[in-house]
């Protein structure tokens, strides 16, 4: 188990507010020492008060006691091990498909700028960040959980993010009947000395910009950037219905393209859980 920090975190709330407020009116930053789940809290607020609770907010938790991931997984860690936060705001995109992918792209590029030819941070469709090492080993760096709610015609989205910053014994527990999770990685192996506060400062403002761009233009402008970090392209994957095939990137709508015995299939996040079966094929293309 990781050793708890010896001094209080110095969260860059003011710096983030100054960067975001001019482009997102009403934006606030809130930091809590402990909560069950930042996603759950923002959804509670909106469902209880609707428009009154719909102003943009970045809610950060130093520690979550009941953090949630996709497919019923739980996210648990000691304070300082993981950065956990949720961004809540009204959003009205023409098509919601691919939002979690756009979020992943923003996070990966903020933590590993420059989009190198062989990025260490890759994106596993539809909502995970994977860390690769020099030997080709893979570990889970982070996860994304997108939830929405309606109040009349108002659509509110909550984007939850968890990023493993320090090495830990375990972070993501599988739900009953689900396959074992990938071993947790640590951002500090890529960026030595970084802490949760600095990680938040790196990712917060670019994330808001990415979400706003998605709201205006959808996923299509993000497609090529996703392909550059696609962890599944060229790999044999197994779908939740037992079908196997080779992943061929994503379409303009963010759907995973899988070539199966029955032909090419478009897979959406609501239909399947995807587990990679093999490493990428040598020289395989990453574009769809």
pLDDT at 186 over 90: yes
- pTM across the whole model: 0.88
DSSP classification of residue 176: T
Q: Is 275 a catalytic residue?
A: yes
Q: How confident is the model at residue 171 (pLDDT cuts 50, 70, 90)?
A: very low
Higher-pLDDT residue of 116 and 184 is 184
Identify any residues that bridge with 144 across adjacent strands, giving them in sequence order.
161
Q: Which domains does the chain have, with CATH numbers?
A: 13-218 (3.30.930.10), 236-276 (2.30.30.100)
**From 70, 155, 235, 238, active-site residue:** 70
124 catalytic residue (yes or no) = no
Determine which one of 45, 140, 225, 229 is catalytic. 140
Q: Which residues pair with 148 in a beta bridge?
A: 157
**Rounded distance between C-alpha atoms, residue 17 and residue 204, angstroms:** 9
Rounded distance, CA 271 to CA 44, Å? Answer: 26
Nearest CA to 287 out of 263, 260, 252, 244 is that of 252
CB atoms within 10 A of CB 133: 12
Task: Give the tens place of pLDDT for each residue, 137-151.
Answer: 999 999 999 999 999
> What is the average per-residue pLDDT within 104-120?
88
- At residue 210, the 3 state secondary structure works out as helix
d(C-alpha 67, C-alpha 63), whole Å: 9
Please indicate whether residue 198 or residue 171 has the higher confidence score (pLDDT). 198
Looking at residue 278, its pLDDT comes to 72
């Amino acid at each position: 188990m990781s050793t708890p920090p010896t001094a209080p975190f110095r969260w860059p709330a003011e710096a983030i507010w100054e960067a975001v407020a001019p482009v997102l009116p009403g934006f606030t930053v809130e930091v809590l020492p402990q909560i069950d789940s930042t996603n759950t809290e923002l959804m509670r607020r909106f469902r209880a008060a609707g428009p009154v609770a719909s102003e943009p907010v970045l809610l950060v938790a130093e520690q979550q006691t009941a953090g949630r991931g996709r497919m019923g997984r739980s996210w648990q860690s000691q304070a300082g091990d993981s950065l956990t936060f949720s961004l809540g705001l009204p959003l009205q995109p023409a098509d919601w498909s691919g939002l979690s992918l756009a979020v992943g792209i923003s996070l990966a590029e903020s933590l590993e700028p420059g989009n190198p030819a062989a990025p260490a941070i890759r994106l596993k469709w539809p909502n995970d960040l994977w860390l690769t090492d020099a030997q080709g080993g893979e570990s889970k760096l982070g996860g994304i959980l997108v939830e929405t709610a309606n109040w009349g015609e108002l659509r509110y989205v909550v984007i939850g993010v968890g990023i493993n910053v320090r090495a830990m014994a375990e972070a993501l527990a599988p739900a009953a009947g689900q396959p074992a999770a990938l071993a947790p990685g640590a951002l500090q192996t890529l960026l030595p000395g970084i802490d949760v506060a600095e990680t938040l400062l790196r990712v917060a403002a670019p994330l808001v910009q990415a979400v706003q761009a998605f709201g205006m233009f959808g996923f299509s402008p993000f497609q090529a950037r996703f392909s550059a970090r696609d962890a599944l392209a060229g790999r044999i994957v197994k779908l939740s219905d037992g079908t196997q095939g080779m992943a061929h990137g994503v379409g303009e709508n963010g759907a995973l393209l899988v070539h199966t015995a029955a032909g090419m299939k478009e897979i959406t996040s609501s239909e399947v859980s995807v587990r990679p079966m093999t490493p990428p094929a040598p020289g395989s293309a990453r574009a769809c």
